[in-house]
Structure 1
Amino acid sequence: MQCNVSLMDSCSALIYFVPTQPQTLEQTVSLFHVDSNRVNTTVDGFLINVNCSCPADHDEFVSHIEYHVQPGDSWEIVSSKFGSFVMEMPNKTLIVSQTITLDLLCGCSGRVELISYRIVAGDTLYTICSRFGANIEQTSALNGIDVAGFIHVGDIMFIPAQDSEALKKSNSRTRIIVGALGGAVVFLLGLSLILFWVCLHRSKGREESKSASRGAKYLLTLFLSSTKPKQNELPFFSSDKSTVFSYDEVCDTTMNFDQSQKIGQGSYGSVYLGHLKGTDVAIKQMMNTKSKEFLAELNILCKVHHKNLIELIGYAAGGDSLFLVYEFAENGALNEHLHNPSLKGYTPLSWATRVQIALDAAKGLEYIHVHTKPYYVHRDVKTSNILLDSNLRAKIADFGLVKLLEHSPEVGAATSKIVGTFGYLAPEYVRDGCVTTKSDVYSFGVVLMELLTGQPALNKIAGSETAQYTEHRSLVDLMLSALRDDDNPLLELTKCVDPNLIEYHKDSLFQADSNMTNFLHMFSIYKMAILSKDCVDNDWQRRPDMCKVVLRLSYILACTLQGEAKDPDHRYLTLLANDSSQQTP
C-alpha cells in the first residue's frame, strides 16, 4: 500500500500467512520473530500481527523482518517462505549465513487495521470479502480495483479487519469529547467556507480563473530548471521539439475544454482536440496531483523520438491542471478498431493492416528497450495506448508509468507498487514487483491476441454478473486453451479468429481447392498466434525480446503481402503441425 505520511507513518497491521508446507505455530513465531500472542491460527495458515511503517526510502508501507540466509536460497525461495509478501531485490546478492532485513508488504489506514492477503487460484472479490466479513465497496476502493470484481492471482489485497483493536481502545467519554469538538470545528469550518466562497466570487473574474495555479507553475519551473544543460553540454530536448504553451492558448483551442472537443478519457485525465501553430493536436489535461506521471511522460518524450512513438509537441500548466500537447492521431486508439468497430463508425481492419500495426508497435517498444540509454519499460502496453494515424500506422502512447532500467534491459528493477492494466500484467511483475522489458513483451503478447481475435483482454463470464461483482476470463487463458490442441493446431484457432477478418473463409480452409491466399493468410495467422503464445510465457526468460518479435513480425508481414507460398508443394498444414522452430526463417 502506498505511503501516506500525512495520514500516518506507522501502525499495527495483519498478514494472512499461508505456508507452502505444513508449519507449526512455534515455527511461524520463530520465522517472523514475533511473540506467540501476536500469532493466531486460521483454517489454512496464520494471522500475524506486525508493526507496519513507511521508511524514508520507501514508497510503500512495509514491515521489517530479520532473516538468516540459508544455503540454496534465492529471492524467489525466500519470498515463498514468507507467503510471497517479500519485496524482492534481484540486484542484491544473497550471501549464505548473512543476516539481511526483509521488507514485507503491509498496509495502514487511519480507521481500521488492514489484513495483507495474497490472492490464490479460485478466489473472487466476493468470496474474499465474505471470508473476512468485509464490505465489497470499501475493499474495492481501498485496493483501487477499477474493473468491478476482477482480481489477479498473486496480487496482494488489503482487507479492512472488522475487529480492529484500534477501534476497541476508544471509550465513551473520549467519544463524547471528540464529538463535541468535532461539531464545533465543522460549524466553524462551514462558516469559513461560506465566507471564503463569497469573497472569492466577488474578487475573481474570468481572467483570474484562467491564470496558472502556483502549484502547476512551480512544477513547470522545476522541470525546466532540471533540464538546463551544464556547461559544454547540449540540452536533452531542443526548442523546436517541445514548446511551452500558455494556459490561455490551451483554453482557447479547446473552447474552454468543451465536451464537443473531448476525444478521449484515460486513467490520468481527459484528452481534447485542439489546433496550435497550424496543426491539429491532442491535449491531455491532468490534475496537478498527477505531477509524477506528468513529469515522467514529459521527461521521456523530450528525450526519445521515433516514428512509432507518439510525438510530444509541447506542454502547459494552469488552472490547477497540467497539459501535454501531442501530435494528433486521426484514427484514434487501436482498441476502437478491434472491439465492435462497426458500432463506433470504423471499418474492420484487414489482416495485412493488423500485422502492420503489430510491427509498428513492436518497433516502438524495441526502440525504448534497446536503443536508448537508460533503457525504458513502458509498463502499460495495451490496445488503448496504441494510436493510429491517418494511414493506420501505429504509435505507442501514454508514458506516464514508464520505468527506467539503468544497467541492462533484462536486469529487473524492483517496484513496490503494481501499476498497469488488469489483463495485460505479467505474472512475475504482479507476484514479485520485479519489472523488466519482458514485462512489456507479455503485455504486447496480449495485444497480438486482441489483433487475432477482436476480443478485449478481459471478457465477462456469462451469468456471473451480480449487483456486487462480476467474474472475468482473460483472453490469455482463452487463447492458450485453444493452442493446446496438439492433434489439430488450426481447428480451435479458427474458432477464436475475429469474424471480421474477411480475407479467408474458415468453411473452406481445409478443402483441397482452397485458394493460395487463404492458405497463406491462415499460415501467417497461425504464426502470429504462436508468437503471441511465446510472448505470454509464464517464464519471463523464455519470452522473446522485442528485437526477435520485430524479426518474426516482419516475416509474417512479408508472407501476408507476398500472396505466394514459400513452400512450392503447398505443404502448409504439415509445416504448421510440426512448426517447432518458432523463429523467423
Structure 2
Amino acid sequence: MYPFNCSQSTTTTCNASLYHATSLGRHDSTRQIATYYSVNETQLHPITGIHNRQDYLVTVPCSCGTVSGTTAYFHAVNYAVQQGDTFSDVSAEVYSGQVWVVGDEKQRFVAGNNVTMNLVCGCLDGKGTEEEEGEVIVTYTVEDGDTLAASLSRVVGLNELLTQNPGFIDVGWVLYVLKGSQVGCGDFEKGYFDAEGPVRYNIEEIEEATNNFDESKKIGEGGYAKVFFGILRGQEVAVKMMRSNKSKEFYAELKVLCKVHHINVVELLGYASGDDHVFLVYEYVRNGSLSDHLHDPLLRGYQPLSWSARTQIAVDAAKGIEYIHDHTKTRYVHRDIKSTNILLDDCLRAKVADFGLAKLVERSNDDELIATRLVGTPGYLPPESVKELQVTSKTDVFAFGVLLGELITGKRALVRDNKEPGRLKSLITTVSASSTHLRITLKNMDILCIKMVQPVSDLVRNLSGSSLEDQFRNWHASSLFSSYPI
C-alpha cells in the first residue's frame, strides 16, 4: 500500500470516498459502520459487492497530514479496541486493509484503548489533468478476481508504483480509483463509482412526507423559514420551507452543504422547489436545539444537561465550525452560530445547522469580507461586525465564545440588567467582567474568545482533555451566575 502524497503547495483537504467491503461473518449495522469511520449514516452509500454482498462507499474528509514522518492524505478515525482484537484483523475486517501502518500497533492495541487509525485517501486537486481536477477519488482494496476495466486507463497515473504492469493487479492492493471508473470481478461488475450529490425530490413527495405541511409537524420557525418533521422514502427528515423570494438564502445553504460532510454538521439530503416555496431536506436530529436544553429545559420535556454533556457539546460544535473554516476546499464563515443552531442527536452529540447566511471568504492572512448589511443574531455579534460590517472566520469564533458562556452559565446570550430590568446586557461581557478566572485558562487561551485571537482549530485542541468538565464547573462557580441552577 502506498499513500497518496501531498505537500503544502497543494490543496490540503477534499471530500474523498473509501470503499468499505463487508467482511464475511460480520453483521455490523450501518450505524456501527458509520461510527467506525467517524461519519453520519447518510455518508454511507450502498453499492453491490461480489456475490451481491452489501458494500458501501463512505464519504470522508480527506486531509493532508504527516503520520510517523510520512506526509500524505489521510482520514483519521478513533477505534475502541475490544477484547481479542488485533491490529491486522481490525484493519482487514473493519477497514478493508486501508489503515496506514505506523509500527507500534501491537503495543497500542490493548483492550480498552482508543487507537487512532489513519486511513489512506486521496485528492486530485493540483495533481490531475484539467479534465480530472475536482473529481473524487475512491480508496479501493483489490479482491480475488478483480481486473482493471478499459475505463480505468486514467487510474494507472494515480497508482504508478503499483501499476507499472497495467495488466496485473494483486489481491489486497490498495488502489486510488476515480469515481466513474469501473472495476470488473470475473463475471460480476461492481458498477460505477458515481459521485453522490443531494437528491432532487418532487414537491408531491415533500407534501406527502409532511402531511401537506400540517402545523402539528412544525418543529421550528425562523426569520425566513419554517421547518417540518417528515418521513421521506422511509427516512425521518427535517424539511426547511422558504418562500421563493428567499432563494438567495436557499442557494447559499445548498451551495455550502453540497460540499460539507462531517459528523458535527447537519447533513443535507436533498432539495425541491414549488411555485411559491423552495425546500431543503435534512437528516432529522432528534433531540432539538442546544437552546432547548439550556434555557427552561423542563418546560420542553428535557432534563438539565450534565457537565460532561456540556463539555462534549462544546468540543463537537467547535469541530463542526473548524471543519467549515479549515478543512473544506473553500473556506466558509457561518455568520449565525448560536445555541438555536446547534442541534443534538440521540446521544446529545452536537451538529452545526442553518447555513442560510454562510459566506465564502478567501484563505489569506486577512481573510475578511465587507458585508453589505448586518446579519446574525444580537448577543452573538462581535463589535467589529456591528461597527464596520466586517466578516471573518473570527466572527464565528466570537459567537462560539458566547455559546461557551451559555454552556457555562445556563443563561441566554442577552440577559436582563438587574438594575434596569428593561435593558438587555450582553452575556459575554457580563461573564468576562465577573471573573478573571474565566479569561486565563488552558495554555493561556481566552475561553470566551472575546479577543478573537485564536482560530477554532486551537479551541478544538485546547478544549479536549479530561480536566475540561472540572473547569466548566469551576468557571460556573466563579461567575456572577453561580447562584443560578444550570
Normalised-by-shorter TM-score class: 0.5 to 0.7
- Name the structure 1 match of 2:449: 535
List alignment gaps of at least 5 residues for structure 2: 1-129, 137-178, 180-193, 479-486
Say if 1:372 and 1:531 are closer, same or farther in 2 by CA, change over 3 A. same
Residue 544 (structure 1) aligns with: 454
Residue 295 (structure 1) aligned with residue 248 (structure 2): no
Higher helix share: 1
How many Å separate the matches in 1 of 2:253 and 2:358? Answer: 8
Aligned mates of 1:471, 1:303 — CA distance in 2: 42
CA distance in 1, matches of 2:408, 2:349: 17
Q: 1:350 to 1:409 in 2, by over 3 A?
A: farther
Percent of aligned pairs with the same residue?
46
Shift of 1:304: 1.3
1:40-98 deviation line (CA, Å, top 9, x unaligned): xxxxxxxxxxxxxxxxxxxxxxxxxxxxxxxxxxxxxxxxxxxxxxxxxxxxxxxxxxx
Unaligned runs of 5+ in 1: 1-229, 494-524, 566-572, 578-585
Provide the secondary structure at the position in 2 that maps to 1:332.
coil
Matched, 1:322 2:230: no
Contact preservation (8 Å) 2:379, 2:414: yes
State the SS of the aligned residue for 2:258. helix
Secondary structure class of the residue paired with 1:326: strand
Structure 2 residue aligned with 1:461: 417
Secondary structure in 2 matching 1:303: coil
Alpha-carbon contact 2:271-2:280 (below 8 Å) kept: yes
- Distance between the aligned counterparts of 2:330 and 2:336, measured in 1? 18
Q: Which residue of the partner structure matches residue 385 of structure 2?
A: 429
Asked if residue 483 in structure 1 is aligned to residue 459 in structure 2, the reply is: no
Pairing 1:335–2:291 present: yes
Equivalent in the alignment of 1:444: 400
2:424 and 2:417 mapped to 1: Cα distance?
A: 5
Question: Per the alignment, in what secondary structure is the counterpart of residue 464 of structure 2?
Answer: helix
Q: Are the equivalent residues in 1 in contact too, given 2:404–2:448 (CA < 8 A)? A: no
Match for residue 221 of structure 2? 265
Structure 1: which amino acid aligns with 2:433?
S
Task: Tell me if 1:346 matches 2:298.
Answer: no
C-alpha distance in 2 between matches for 1:384 and 1:526: 28
Alpha-carbon distance between aligned partners in 1 of 2:354 and 2:433, rounded to the nearest angstrom: 31
Please show how residues 257-406 of structure 1 align to structure 2 within 5 Å: 257-406=213-362
Give the 3 Å change call, closer, same or farther, for CA 235–314 of structure 1 in structure 2: farther
Tell me how far 1:529 sits from its aligned partner: 13
**Contact 2:405 2:448 (C-alpha < 8 Å) held by counterparts:** no
- C-alpha contact 1:275 1:281 (8 A) present in aligned 2: yes
Determine if contact 1:370/1:409 at 8 Å carries over to the other structure.
no
Q: Report how far residue 232 of structure 1 moved.
A: 4.8
Bigger strand fraction? 2
Change beyond 3 A, Cα 1:298–1:482: same
CA distance in 2, matches of 1:475, 1:434: 22
The one-letter amino acid of 1:296's match is: A
Alignment partners' CA distance in 2, 1:279 and 1:355: 30
RMSD of the alignment, in Å? 3.0
Report the Cα offset of residue 426 of structure 1: 1.1
TM-superposition CA deviations, 1:13-65 (whole Å, max 9, x none):
xxxxxxxxxxxxxxxxxxxxxxxxxxxxxxxxxxxxxxxxxxxxxxxxxxxxx
Distance 1:339 1:265, change over 3 A: same
Q: Deviations over 1:245-283 (max 9, x none)?
A: 111111111111111100111222110000112210000
User: Structure 1 CA distance, aligned partners of 2:363 and 2:433?
Assistant: 37
Structure 2 equivalent of residue 247 of structure 1: 203
With over 3 angstroms needed to count, the CA separation of the structure-2 counterparts of 1:531 and 1:289, relative to structure 1, is farther
Query: What is the CA distance between 1:460 and its match in structure 2?
Result: 2.7
CA distance in 1, matches of 2:302, 2:405: 20
Partner of 1:50: none
1:471 aligns with 2:427: no
What is the distance in 2 between the residues matched to 1:307 and 1:325? 17
Per-residue deviation, 1:532: 5.7
- Relative to structure 1, is the Cα distance of residues 277 and 240 closer, same or farther in structure 2, using a 3 angstrom cutoff? farther
Q: Secondary structure at the match of 2:287?
A: coil
Q: Tell me by how many angstroms 1:429 deviates.
A: 1.4
> 1:287 and 1:532, CA in 2 relative to 1: closer, same or farther beyond 3 A?
farther
- Give the aligned residue type for 2:460: V
Q: Distance in 2 between matches of 1:461 and 1:560?
A: 30
Alignment check: 8 A CA contact 2:443 2:462 kept: no
CA pair 407-318 structure 1, distance change in 2 beyond 3 A? same
2:44 alignment partner in structure 1: none
Partner residue of 2:176? none
Distance across 2 between alignment mates of 1:547 and 1:481: 26
Q: Structure 1 CA distance, aligned partners of 2:253 and 2:455?
A: 23
Q: Is the 8 A contact 1:410 1:437 kept in 2?
A: no
Show the 5 A alignment for 1:48-59: none
Please say if residues 316 and 349 of structure 2, whose CA atoms lie closer than 8 Å, have aligned partners that are also in contact. yes
C-alpha distance in structure 2 between counterparts of 1:330 and 1:320, whole Å:
28
How far residue 461 of structure 1 moved from its aligned partner, in angstroms, is 3.1
Q: Could you say which residue in structure 1 is the equivalent of 2:187?
A: none
Q: CA deviation at 1:533?
A: 4.6
Contact 1:448 1:532 in 2 (8 A): no
Whole-Å Cα distance in 2 between the matches of residues 295 and 276 of structure 1? 22
What is the count of residue pairs matched by the alignment? 290
Q: Deviations over 1:90-148 (max 9, x none)?
A: xxxxxxxxxxxxxxxxxxxxxxxxxxxxxxxxxxxxxxxxxxxxxxxxxxxxxxxxxxx
Superposition map of 1:22-33 within 5 A: none
Q: Distance in 2 between matches of 1:411 and 1:339?
A: 35
Q: For residue 282 of structure 1, what is the amino acid of its counterpart?
A: A
Give the deviation of 1:481 after TM superposition: 1.8
Amino acid at match of 2:299: L
Output the CA distance in 1 between the equivalents of 2:251 and 2:331. 17
**SS of the residue aligned with 2:356?**
coil
Greater Cα radius of gyration, structure 1 or 2? 1
Distance 1:391 1:371, change over 3 A: same
**Separation in structure 1 between the aligned mates of residue 259 and residue 313 of structure 2, nearest angstrom:** 24
- SS in structure 2 opposite 1:273? strand
1:36 counterpart residue number: none
Alignment partner of 1:295: what SS?
A: helix
Aligned residue identity for 1:412: E
Inter-partner Cα distance in structure 2 for 1:279 and 1:529: 44
Contact persistence 2:198–2:270 (CA under 8 A): yes
